[in-house]
């Protein structure tokens, strides 16, 4: 772990705890800073605050006092979930106090090079693929950020022999100053998190910070088929590696119907890729390009691509049973995500959908309904989905109350050669606390099927 002389004996405020804030506070304390932590959760219910107090840190819990900055802090490290319109952050900006998120601290202390992955969709799958490719090539990767362990904790343990593969959100990137990955990956940009960012421009500018400090000795892997990403890429000083999923190109990594190409030269057949869907092909190309830049042998890359069936709850292949294949795409909480899943199949699909009714249109599914043999739906959106399915001429549209009932109907409707796909196009909160719990229930139903 690198030392940070400019934090020694300096007063630093860590705003918001959870895992990332706790790791940042402990690290800054170990580096010699005088750390105060402030968390809205009451001390009696706050195990992280209690732990940090036992380590000798100053702890303020239960609220965020507006006069807290009168202590004379030289730096704030904030939890990514705390918005920038928080009164303490607003006042810090007025006073010119730097505000970091924990990944900035992780980057500054790390002895290991970093790979950073961001985008509106596909971050987790791409991050996991890169990690698995580096591991297969014995590059000693460590995974961090939104998945895996808190980045600061990983950075403290990493050596120059490691590579830190880090999934980065706009929340994390917005609070960075010197973050400079060896390889940055910008997958795509769509409207998201506008309840946190003041507008789409602020959101996309935050994403661009993943490459803002890079230079010609670094690489930017980016979506060469999305204009907004291309426009941002042109502002980067890094060496640029575009990916294209629609046709062969001479520059970067690309694919046609049969092959994947590296700078126009054939790399491997697409048929070896286990992941389904055009959206996953974007993730595959971005991960493969990154692995090649990090000098992974093609054999290691192919080994991963031929065996990796997806991140849990993201078009995750579960098993084949009596000629039917089952996929868990519980993470698909809107129609755009379900559209991406359907796009990946040519076989007949039994689609299980439903959940929270947020009034969103299902029209994005229409071009891909020709492969939907049956729509089985449940939950708060069941009436809307029934009407939608009937209007679109799906031959079998069945309404029910719960996922368990929907699974039984889907199974009875299916035939050998069919895909049974949970891709709800809706959030889970009408019946589940999270999409993970919903997906786990579906997995349980599938794995309990007897041969």
The annotated binding site for ATP is made up of 119-125
β-sheet with 396-399: strand ranges across: 316-321, 324-328, 419-422, 349-354, 372-378, 396-399
Distance of CA 345 to the CA centre of its chain: 23
Distance separating alpha carbons of residues 326 and 320, to the nearest angstrom: 6
3-state DSSP helix/strand/coil % of the chain, to nearest 5 = 40, 20, 40
Q: Vertex 206, ends 200 and 208: CA angle to 5°?
A: 105
Bridge partner residues of 117 (DSSP): 167, 185
What secondary structure letter does DSSP report for 367?
Answer: G
Positions at the binding site: 119-125
Distance separating alpha carbons of residues 23 and 73, to the nearest angstrom: 19
Do residues 449 and 327 make contact, with C-beta atoms less than 8 angstroms apart? no
Alpha helices, H only, 278-430:
278-293, 298-305, 335-343, 382-391, 403-413
- Tell me the residue length of the chain: 451
Distance separating alpha carbons of residues 265 and 259, to the nearest angstrom: 10
Do residues 289 and 280 make contact, with C-beta atoms less than 8 angstroms apart? no
Rg over CA atoms, the chain: 24
Bridge partner residues of 195 (DSSP): none
HSE (CB half, 13 Å, CA atoms) of 364? 13
Query: Between the CA atoms of 161, 166, 172 and 178, what dihedral angle is there, to the nearest 10 degrees?
Result: 40
Nearest to 415 by CA among 330, 318, 313, 323: 323
């Amino acid at each position: 772990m690198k030392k940070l002389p400019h934090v020694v004996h300096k007063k630093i405020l860590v705003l918001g705890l959870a895992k990332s804030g706790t790791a940042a506070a402990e690290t800054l304390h170990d580096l010699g800073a005088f750390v105060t932590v402030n968390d809205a959760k009451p001390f009696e219910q706050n195990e992280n605050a209690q732990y940090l107090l036992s380590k000798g840190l100053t702890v303020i819990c239960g609220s965020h006092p507006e006069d807290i900055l009168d202590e004379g802090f030289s730096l704030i490290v904030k939890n990514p979930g705390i918005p920038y319109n928080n009164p303490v952050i607003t006042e810090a900006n007025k006073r010119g106090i730097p505000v970091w998120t924990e990944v900035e601290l992780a980057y500054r202390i790390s002895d290991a090079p970093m790979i950073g992955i961001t985008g509106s969709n596909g971050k987790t799958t791409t991050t996991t693929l890169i990690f698995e490719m580096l591991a297969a090539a014995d590059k000693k990767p460590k995974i961090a950020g939104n998945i895996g362990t808190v980045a600061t904790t990983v950075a403290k343990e990493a050596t120059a022999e490691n590579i830190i593969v880090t999934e980065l959100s706009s929340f994390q990137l917005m609070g960075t100053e010197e973050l400079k990955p060896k390889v940055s990956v910008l997958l795509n940009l769509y409207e998201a998190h506008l309840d946190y960012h003041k507008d789409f421009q602020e959101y996309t500018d935050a994403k661009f910070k993943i490459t803002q400090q890079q230079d010609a000795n670094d690489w930017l892997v980016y979506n060469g088929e999305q204009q907004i990403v291309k426009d941002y890429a042109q502002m980067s000083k890094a060496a640029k590696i575009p990916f294209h999923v629609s046709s062969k190109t001479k520059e970067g990594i690309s694919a046609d119907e049969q092959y994947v190409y590296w700078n126009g030269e054939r790399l491997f057949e697409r048929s070896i890729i286990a992941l389904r869907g055009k959206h996953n092909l974007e993730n595959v190309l971005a991960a493969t390009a990154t692995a090649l830049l990090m000098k992974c042998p093609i054999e290691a890359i192919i080994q991963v691509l031929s065996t990796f069936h997806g991140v849990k709850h993201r078009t995750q292949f579960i098993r084949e049973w009596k000629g039917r294949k089952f996929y868990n795409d519980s993470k698909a909480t809107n129609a755009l995500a379900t559209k991406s899943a359907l796009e990946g199949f040519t076989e007949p699909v039994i689609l299980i959908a439903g959940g929270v009714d947020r009034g969103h249109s299902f029209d994005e599914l229409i071009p891909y309904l020709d492969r939907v043999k049956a729509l089985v739906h449940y939950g708060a959106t069941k009436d809307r989905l029934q009407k939608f399915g009937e209007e679109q001429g799906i031959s079998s549209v069945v309404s029910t109350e719960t996922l368990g009932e929907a699974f039984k109907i889907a199974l009875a409707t299916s035939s050998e050669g069919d895909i049974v796909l949970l891709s709800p196009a809706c959030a889970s909160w009408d019946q589940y606390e999270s999409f993970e719990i919903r997906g786990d229930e579906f997995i349980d139903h599938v794995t309990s099927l007897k041969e």
